[in-house]
Amino acid sequence: MKNIYFYLTLTSLVAFLVTGCAKEKVEPKKPDPVAPVISEVEPVENPTFDQTPDYQFISDQAGSITYGGSCSSSTENALAGSNTFVTFNELNYGTYSDCTILVTNSAGLASNELSVSSFTIKEKPKKQAPPDPPVLKEVTPVDSPTFDRTPIYTFSSTKEGKIDYRGGCSSSISWANAGTNTITFNELNYMTYSDCTIAVTDSDGVQSEVLEVSAFTVEMKPKPKPEPEPVVSKPEPEPEPAPAPEPEPVVAEPEPAPAPAPAPEEVAEIEEAEIAIEKDADESVEAPKPMTIITAPPEEMESAVIEMGMVYFDYDKSNISSTFAEIIEINYEWIAENPDVRIQLEGHCDERGTNEYNLALGERRAKAVFEYLVKLGANPSQFTMVSFGEERPVASGSNEVDWAKNRRVEFTRL
């Protein structure tokens, strides 16, 4: 009985407690508010020419923006959790290192002060007018026609710069000075040149207008006319003696009576008169003058032109100047007229440089003369080439005059 009473009492107590708890409403506790946290995302470009530059930052809470220092903006509110783009109001030219940003949330709590990275606004440089291009003008055209295959040309330029050749002409001279410029064209063929142009590009990369080189013609130098062969005087043939007349028949005439013998005085006078007549006759007849017969055997005519001119070169060079190109052409004319003759082209150098280098340089010089002869039409089989380097000088001094004499190519008949 007691157990039943205890059970009922316990059940009633539990029911009371459950009913009381159900009636009481439990309210969750609200967290304390915290201040926003902001950080820089994209600083202002530095330096910049933009007087209203852009800036980006991020805030973990929404709120109103407060600007400090020299910067301000029409953007007043920050977004929560995403980048906020700010365009600063117009700024003067200069450096800005005191700009700051604060974000205040709805609870009135301010964020950390964000210092905007320092930046400088520069004045945009004014556009300058492009520099004037060089102005070219022809001064001295190439002679036309010309026999020179490396002709000289003169032009003027208002500015210095790099030369650009186009058309059929070129040159090893690649730089033009301000003023008059004289150039030598590289070797040309025998033809007319009407497409040669020159342009100059200055140090700023500005190119001149194209200068058209006046048309000119390179012609082959005519061969000299052969000298007339010496006239050989031939003695006139002596006239054949007239045939002797047939003797007339002798008619016997009576012998005249013998004349009386002259007196001795008369005989002496007659003899003196005959002697005087014979003397006058001898003095009146001139003796015949000796006749000079001019002869010129072929071997003597040939030896008269065997001495051929030498070709000289600048220091450490193997190219042929226009002066010595004419010497080669004159030598070629004789060689072409004597196809059976063999010529040895001998290259020489001055004493400067090593033996090995000078042997190679002498070979290049001999080869340059050989190639020029072949271009003129010479038969290559008529020539051999050899280099003596510095071993066979014609002048022994160590000065520019003697060195110039030793830099040569000789034509030697084999």
Q: What residues contact residue 48 under an 8 Å CB cut-off, 6+ apart?
A: 119, 120, 121, 122
Domain 38-121: give its CATH architecture: Sandwich (2.60)
Position 287 scores a pLDDT of 39
Tokens 């510095």, residue located:
390
Query: Can you give the pLDDT at residue 220?
Result: 83
Low-confidence stretches of the chain (pLDDT beneath 50): 281-305
DSSP one-letter string for 224-237: PPPPPPPPPP-PPP
* Radius of gyration for the chain, computed over Cα atoms and rounded to the nearest angstrom: 60
Q: Provide the CATH number for the domain formed by 298-413 in this structure.
A: 3.30.1330.60
Q: pTM of the prediction?
A: 0.31
Q: Around Cβ 409, how many Cβ atoms within 10 Å?
A: 26
Between CA 167 and CA 146 the distance in angstroms is 19
Of the CATH numbers 2.60.40, 2.40.160, 3.40.190, 1.25.40, which one belongs to the domain with range 136-217? 2.60.40
State how far the Cα of 136 lies from the Cα of 158, in Å rounded to an integer: 7
Domain boundaries of the chain, sorted by first residue:
38-121, 136-217, 298-413
User: Is 132:205 a contact under the CB 8 Å cutoff?
Assistant: no
Q: Which two tokens stand for residue 391?
A: 């071993």
- Cβ–Cβ < 8 Å for 112, 130: no
Note whether 103 and 38 are within 8 A (CB): yes
User: How far, in Å, CA of 305 to CA of 136, rounded?
Assistant: 48
Q: Which long-range contacts (CB under 8 A, 24 or more apart) does 330-339 make?
A: 331/373, 331/411, 332/373, 332/376, 332/377, 332/378, 333/223, 333/224, 334/305, 334/308, 335/373, 335/378, 335/382, 336/377, 336/378, 338/302, 339/379, 339/382
| DSSP H or E segment with residue 85 | strand 83-87
- CB burial of 338-373 (b: ≥16 within 10 Å; e: otherwise) equals eeeeebebbbbbbeebeeeebbbbbbebbbbbbebb
136-217 has the same fold as 38-121: yes
Count of CB atoms situated within 10 Å of the CB of 394: 11
